[in-house]
């Protein structure tokens, strides 16, 4: 019997190279929000809403893939990057922070779920149906997962650009650890089950 390869690889060039026309249009919206310097939460929230209002900007970057969560870069410069994420059932990030970056995320299609830790042993769950925007400053810790829609789609804007993230994992002794990893590496750890 021949086992077929079912995992669809996510090539770097399709992840990191948005269509030039889409990136240009998005760049114009970025400049409208904040012509120079980093963007703070209010500008990031306005930006994701402005992008959401133009489906032709983000719909071409939606990918339906049951084997893994897909993310595609829509725009980047030296002060911001913007990503379109596609979520199928069972796909989730695990708990993480965005290091020095502020973030705004908006659900564009379907519903995603955002979780935050309530110490010592709880978790808050916020359903984010289409049109919902959430945001956080540097150090904001959350986890996001698919909730409804095939796929669910979300838009994420980071300023300064997401160079580095902290992924929260539980080691073999049950101790919480923050693992630093590159901001463009896929977040997948699910060792914290709360
Ligand atoms: Fe995040």
Distance (angstroms) between ligand 1 centre and the Cα of 14 equals: 21
Architecture of domain 3-182: Sandwich (2.60)
Cα 179 to middle of ligand 1, angstroms: 14
| CB contact set of 165 (below 8 Å; sequence gap of 6+) | 96, 97, 98, 99, 180, 181, 182, 183, 185, 187
CA of 108 to the centre of ligand 1 (A): 16
Q: How far is the CA of 55 from the centre of ligand 1 (A)?
A: 22
163 Cα–ligand 1 center, Å: 12
Render pLDDT for 75-95 as a digit per residue (tens, 0 to 9).
999 999 999 999 999 999 999
Separation of CA 4 and ligand 1 centre (Å): 33
The predicted-structure confidence for 129-171, as pLDDT tens digits, reads as follows 999 999 999 999 999 999 999 999 999 999 999 999 999 999 9
All structural domains of the chain with their residue ranges: 3-182
């Amino acid at each position: 019997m021949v086992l077929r390869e079912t995992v669809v690889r996510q090539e770097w060039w399709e992840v990191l190279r948005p269509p030039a026309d889409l990136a240009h249009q998005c760049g114009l919206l970025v400049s409208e929000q904040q012509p120079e310097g980093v963007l703070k939460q209010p500008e990031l929230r306005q930006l994701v809403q402005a992008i959401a209002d133009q489906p032709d900007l983000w719909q071409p970057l939606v990918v339906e893939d049951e084997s893994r969560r897909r993310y595609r870069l829509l725009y980047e410069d030296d002060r911001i990057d913007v990503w379109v994420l596609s979520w199928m059932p069972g796909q989730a990030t695990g708990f993480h922070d965005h290091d020095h970056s502020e973030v705004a995320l908006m659900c564009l299609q379907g519903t995603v779920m955002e979780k935050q830790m309530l110490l010592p042993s709880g978790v808050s769950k916020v359903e984010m149906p289409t049109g919902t925007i959430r945001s956080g400053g540097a150090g904001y810790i959350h986890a996001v997962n698919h909730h409804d829609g095939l796929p669910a789609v979300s838009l994420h804007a980071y300023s300064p650009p997401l160079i580095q993230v902290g992924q929260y994992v539980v080691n073999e002794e049950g101790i919480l650890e923050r693992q630093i990893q590159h901001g463009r590496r896929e977040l997948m750890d699910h060792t914290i089950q709360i």
